[in-house]
Structure 1
């Protein structure tokens, strides 16, 4: 009955301070309420002596009734809260991921592509109210997943992204243009591209500046990320004799940071540089904070009053007291 109970008028509990005063008054006036008679023997009054000792039970019943009434005045009630959320500002996001051979470099652990996929998956899980799509690019580009609100589809597609699905190279303009094409007809209030690369534009037939102008035309903000340590990195340089596995060697990390900065500036986004796993994770967390979806929450409160059983209990206790006074204890009152 009293699970998860709250009280609407807890100030009435101060009335419990009157109960000790009532007990003290009862103790001080008890003897005055009983008439005394001096006789030679009490043998004929054994039953009456027992009833006399039980008389305080009547006062105890009254105290219990008063306690129930005070608690009822405090209005115990249970509260049931139901919540409904409404997304008031939706965001459509396309993540453009570089899958060139240099993304297998091991300056991030275990390599750049694996580290990116782990961080990107966490980012996707933190955007439950947005639609997200994936674009993969190397020497060319393609849409891995159109924008969708089904995060299981996006996460599954992200896991499937590997090196070797496209001709090698780094076509930044192509990757950006394909992402713009995915978002240009979106009705979302905010449209965002997160473009990541670890190199310089050396492939494709669309210039990055042209793709950036298209993003501006369709009011698409672009966050760019340059991935790679400062200095040299252990990078694939050639195939081994089996033609299947890479031979690694140290190479200078070359990222066209000025190009990525220009793309971000012209589209209203920001450029970030990720030199290790932790920094990459921090960047995605920062983008997550910058692009917040506005959610309106409605709460509905339903109260169920619990004072009625206490009122019935108080009435029942007073009825018992009255009945005992009028019957069993009548000769002592």
Structure 2
């Protein structure tokens, strides 16, 4: 709740108060006619309390004026409320490769963790959209159905890790894309997109990735494809030593960019290549700019008028000044 004035321009009148005080106590007193007397001995008298208080009648009048000016400015408490209506949100599925090669260290700390970190920021930005998660390697499954529950979604994203015991190793791009399509095909939103990330080539799976792209096109789903991996060589996991630690060896990075470009082109999407953490972040930022939700927000403002107490106090002080000046202080010069 905020306080405001309906007619704040009336507050400029408050500048009259200090000017009036200055004029009354400095200028006016100097303009009074002086009466010359040879002696004031016979007139000297001790000032009573009423004589001392009389100058404050003018202050009382100015104070009343001050309260009335504030009342004219119409002080009020403002309470704002809003709700979002007719939201044309976007349904998004992030389909990420979780094969063993995603542990390669050309991204920091590795490809999979880098993807999770950037996706986390992306999800937080898409406050009006529903998002789901699909993971794939040699097989695929839905990690999180399309949902608007961002807390649950982010927690699920955090727990994604490479686990060869859960999914067969390999890169089944067609299967991963098909699982993501299955999450979106019945969506009623006008805009449906898939962000498909991989660091390799399609080497397993019973569904051809281009056939999956044609299915996505038939359902009006746009696919943004992202190739993840540096140019040249990178340290790939190849085995585990006797202590269970992963052993890395330099290997050539191979991404089927032609396939990824064709998938994107078929669905009217776009292909990106991420060669490091910053480039991956920039890609998500660009997708965020390309896919915007349309929102209609209705705002309401409730006003609680507060001018009445100010006006009543001002009128009371003004009436008090008039009564005192015509009764108790009437006989004073």
Same fold (TM over 0.5): yes
| CA distance in structure 1 between the aligned counterparts of 2:25 and 2:197, rounded to whole angstroms | 84
| CA distance in structure 2 between the aligned counterparts of 1:152 and 1:17, rounded to whole angstroms | 54
Q: Which moved more, 1:227-236 or 1:176-185?
A: 176-185
Aligned residue in 1 for 2:272: 272
Unaligned residue ranges in structure 2 (runs of 5+): none
How many pairs does the alignment contain? 328
- C-alpha contact (below 8 Å) 1:34/1:332 kept by paired residues: no
Unaligned residue ranges in structure 1 (runs of 5+): none
Aligned residue in 1 for 2:159: 160
Query: Could you list the per-position Cα deviations for residues 214-259 of structure 1 after superposition, in whole angstroms to 9, with x for gaps in the alignment?
Result: 00000000000000000000012344467x5543211110001111
Q: Which moved more, 1:297-306 or 1:154-163?
A: 154-163
Query: Could you list the per-position Cα deviations for residues 2-40 of structure 1 after superposition, in whole angstroms to 9, with x for gaps in the alignment?
Result: x94322222223333444257526766668699999986
- C-alpha contact (below 8 Å) 2:83/2:297 kept by paired residues: yes
Query: Could you list the per-position Cα deviations for residues 89-148 of structure 1 after superposition, in whole angstroms to 9, with x for gaps in the alignment?
Result: 121111111111111111111111121122222222222322222211111222222212
Aligned residue in 1 for 2:215: 214
| CA distance in structure 1 between the aligned counterparts of 2:141 and 2:15, rounded to whole angstroms | 77
The alpha-carbon distance between structure 1 residues 301 and 213, as it changes in their structure 2 partners (threshold 3 A), is same
Is structure 2 residue 290 aligned with structure 1 residue 304?
no
Alignment of 1:5-16 (within 5 A): 5-16=3-14
The alpha-carbon distance between structure 1 residues 39 and 199, as it changes in their structure 2 partners (threshold 3 A), is closer
Aligned residue in 2 for 1:63: 62
| CA distance in structure 2 between the aligned counterparts of 1:241 and 1:14, rounded to whole angstroms | 83
| CA distance in structure 2 between the aligned counterparts of 1:262 and 1:101, rounded to whole angstroms | 25
* Cα displacement (A) at 1:321: 1.4
The alpha-carbon distance between structure 1 residues 100 and 332, as it changes in their structure 2 partners (threshold 3 A), is same
The alpha-carbon distance between structure 1 residues 272 and 4, as it changes in their structure 2 partners (threshold 3 A), is same
* Cα displacement (A) at 1:81: 0.8
Alignment of 1:91-102 (within 5 A): 91-102=90-101
| CA distance in structure 1 between the aligned counterparts of 2:52 and 2:271, rounded to whole angstroms | 89
1:331 aligned counterpart, secondary structure? coil
1:153 aligned counterpart, secondary structure? helix
Alignment of 1:161-200 (within 5 A): 161-163=160-162, 164=164, 165-200=166-201
2:42 aligned counterpart, secondary structure? coil
| CA distance in structure 2 between the aligned counterparts of 1:16 and 1:121, rounded to whole angstroms | 54
2:175 aligned counterpart, secondary structure? helix
- C-alpha contact (below 8 Å) 2:2/2:79 kept by paired residues: no
The alpha-carbon distance between structure 1 residues 29 and 173, as it changes in their structure 2 partners (threshold 3 A), is closer
Alignment of 1:259-298 (within 5 A): 259-298=259-298
Normalising by the residue count of structure 2, what TM-score does the alignment of the two structures yield? Answer: 0.89
Aligned residue in 1 for 2:313: 313
- C-alpha contact (below 8 Å) 1:9/1:73 kept by paired residues: yes
